[in-house]
Structure 1
Amino acid sequence: MRLEKKATVASSSVAALLVFLKLAVGILSGSIAILASAIDSLLDLTVSLFNYFALHNAEKHPDEQFHFGRSKLEPLAAVIEGTIISLSALFILYEAIAKIIHPEDMRHMSEGIYVMIASFIITGFLVAFLNYVANKTKNMVIKADALHYKTDLFSNGAVLFALVAIHYTGEQLIDPVLGIAIAVYMIYSAIPIVKEGVLMLLDVALPKEDIDKIIQIIKEEPEITNFHYLQTRVSGSHIFISFHAVFNVSISLYDAHLIADKVELKIKKLFPEDKKLHILIHMDPYDDAEMNEEEEEW
């Protein structure tokens, strides 16, 4: 099994353990903060399982059913994850407001504190392992997973602080107020995840700075007299680039192909090694830009 997949298995296992511990203590104690943390861990489990599924299937080679592969599984998973996070945050928000309206003293405080201490320590070890894998493999999915669990580390610390504060001050309002803060933070974190996933599903183009660099590489090739119909799109870890390169009519197909290969290699060097580039260069013996514009209008 690849190291990246081992990392997703480890994160899924840890998340499952934390869900069981937090959910049990959250229900027994009546703590909204612990319950919110339990749901957050449940989301972590979902995210890690999605990451494993995405890594396993997105790497499959194109076949008769999927000619361009399954790279869009990654943004699709991101949209689903972000939606689940948002819905869960709304549930936590509802429970927190209900507890403010109908106050209820927390129970089993000591057990809650012990569980959150254990959660903090376990999550800390997991973050360290995921960072190690991310630095070694340069995999974007694992980097995102490491960042996600790092935010959980801070969240667990905040809940632990709140439980200790309630234990010593007796102020029960701290619990639902922290639950509301966690819910707002979860929604705030989910918005960019959903947005990025939707943009990729809609075949979002590369950023302008990357497109400008591609144009510069094409213009620097003296044998290419002009170019047009430059198109780019991002799909997970895959980047698709295509354009029409205009050559002198007298150039041989062999020489034109060598030049196209050289341009393709330069473009690939613009991006990190973990990105999979798919570059298609259409070689024109004359400038047919106007013809393409008419077809687009039609």
Structure 2
Amino acid sequence: MFYKNLTHTPKYATLIATFTALCLAVGKLIAGIVSGSVAVLASAIDSLLDVGISIFNFFALKKSEKPANSRFNYGLGKLESLAATFEGLVIALSGVYIFYTSCVKIISSHEIESLQYSLGVMILSFCATFCLVWYLQKVAKRTNSQVIKADVMHYKVDLLSNGAVLCSLLVISISGFDKLDAILGLVIAVYIMLSAFRLIRESVLLLLDRAIDPHIFARVQEVLANAPITSYHALRTRIVGNIIFVDVHLVFHPGITLLEAHRICNTIEERIRALDTSLVWEINAHLDPYDDSEFDVILRQGKE
């Protein structure tokens, strides 16, 4: 059980991704140099970037898991979003490079050699990447880690590009149309850049304290609406990694005891946490005897 739990942690997943990317990068780099295939070389460069990104993610996750302290009262969870943003930028740059290299190859004539070796490497790469995506998806679903989700998207792009490169090499080996290699490079580059934009956008929204998903927010409102309180207001949410922060003011009858109000508040928090047990809920509930607008009226009447 301990070993199973260890293998499904974000940090362990980044180590697996790093080792896999390193092995694939070496194999594809050799194949690309020997064959002269721009698509294989582009895939090799992307895998080398994967190695650096995965190492960066490992240290980001290690740092983000440290508890809150006197300097960072809310912890370092946003390091995950920073790492995901960095990863998105690197993906975008790799897409730009692939696009440029493909254009150069289309303009100039080039031939691909040692196709058999390149085909073997790309088949192995496709299978290894498929297994890695499957594993990372399991870890992302279990931990809701933003970094691992970014890695899943990244390696899905790799899986698609590996499959496309493999298909192009097969077609080239049959037809001899070498420029298909560069044309495919253009398609892969555009897809990579679009995927990077979506990843960067999501990560930046999290850094800007984006509210939780509307359907979860609606369920939180439902819990509050069915709670034995007079009303509620000032409901705010934000998400950092797998931690959801909820702030709310709960209005009770002025005659209720503090003990009873506290008991009801605890029950409400338990029901909210039960909405999704895979997430960490940080709930800050403020207990009010009146609604804020009513309290302002009472203060004015008292001064009169």
- The normalised TM-score by structure 1 is 0.88
Equivalent residue, structure 1, for 2:208: 202
1:36 aligns with 2:42: yes
Residues 1:257 and 1:97: Cα distance change in structure 2 (over 3 Å): same
Equivalent residue, structure 2, for 1:286: 290
Aligned equivalents of 1:202 and 1:146: distance in 2?
A: 22
**1:172-220 deviation line (CA, Å, top 9, x unaligned):** 1101011011101111211221111000000001223322222221121
State the percentage of identical aligned residues: 43
Aligned equivalents of 1:231 and 1:46: distance in 2?
A: 37
Equivalent residue, structure 1, for 2:89: 83
Equivalent residue, structure 2, for 1:158: 164
**How many residue pairs end up in the alignment?**
289
Residues 1:6 and 1:208: Cα distance change in structure 2 (over 3 Å): closer
Residues 1:254 and 1:162: Cα distance change in structure 2 (over 3 Å): same
Aligned equivalents of 2:95 and 2:241: distance in 1?
A: 26
Residues 1:142 and 1:231: Cα distance change in structure 2 (over 3 Å): same
In structure 2, stretches of 5+ residues that fail to align are 297-304
Equivalent residue, structure 1, for 2:232: 227
Instruction: Tell me how far 1:32 sits from its aligned partner.
Output: 1.3
**2:242 alignment partner AA:** S
Instruction: Tell me how far 1:143 sits from its aligned partner.
Output: 5.6
RMSD after superposition: 2.3
Q: How does 1:1-298 map to 2 (within 5 A)?
A: 2-3=6-7, 4=9, 5-130=11-136, 133=139, 137-140=142-145, 141-142=147-148, 145-146=151-152, 148-222=154-228, 224-271=229-276, 273-289=277-293
Out of 210-219 and 121-130, give the one that drifted further.
121-130
Equivalent pair of 1:229/1:289 in contact (CA under 8 Å): no
Instruction: Tell me how far 1:125 sits from its aligned partner.
Output: 3.9
Instruction: Tell me how far 1:285 sits from its aligned partner.
Output: 1.6
Residues 1:129 and 1:241: Cα distance change in structure 2 (over 3 Å): closer
Name the SS for the 2:230 alignment partner: strand
Equivalent residue, structure 2, for 1:295: none
Aligned equivalents of 1:290 and 1:110: distance in 2?
A: 79
**1:242 alignment partner AA:** D
Name the SS for the 2:239 alignment partner: strand
Aligned equivalents of 2:254 and 2:295: distance in 1?
A: 17
Name the SS for the 1:239 alignment partner: strand
Residues 1:196 and 1:249: Cα distance change in structure 2 (over 3 Å): same
Name the SS for the 1:6 alignment partner: helix
Aligned equivalents of 1:288 and 1:147: distance in 2?
A: 45
Aligned equivalents of 2:52 and 2:273: distance in 1?
A: 34
Equivalent pair of 1:46/1:81 in contact (CA under 8 Å): no
- The normalised TM-score by structure 2 is 0.86
In structure 1, stretches of 5+ residues that fail to align are 293-298
Residues 1:139 and 1:218: Cα distance change in structure 2 (over 3 Å): closer
**1:121-152 deviation line (CA, Å, top 9, x unaligned):** 333443454456567x4554546544543443
**1:244 alignment partner AA:** H
**2:292 alignment partner AA:** D
Equivalent pair of 2:84/2:150 in contact (CA under 8 Å): no
Instruction: Tell me how far 1:109 sits from its aligned partner.
Output: 2.5
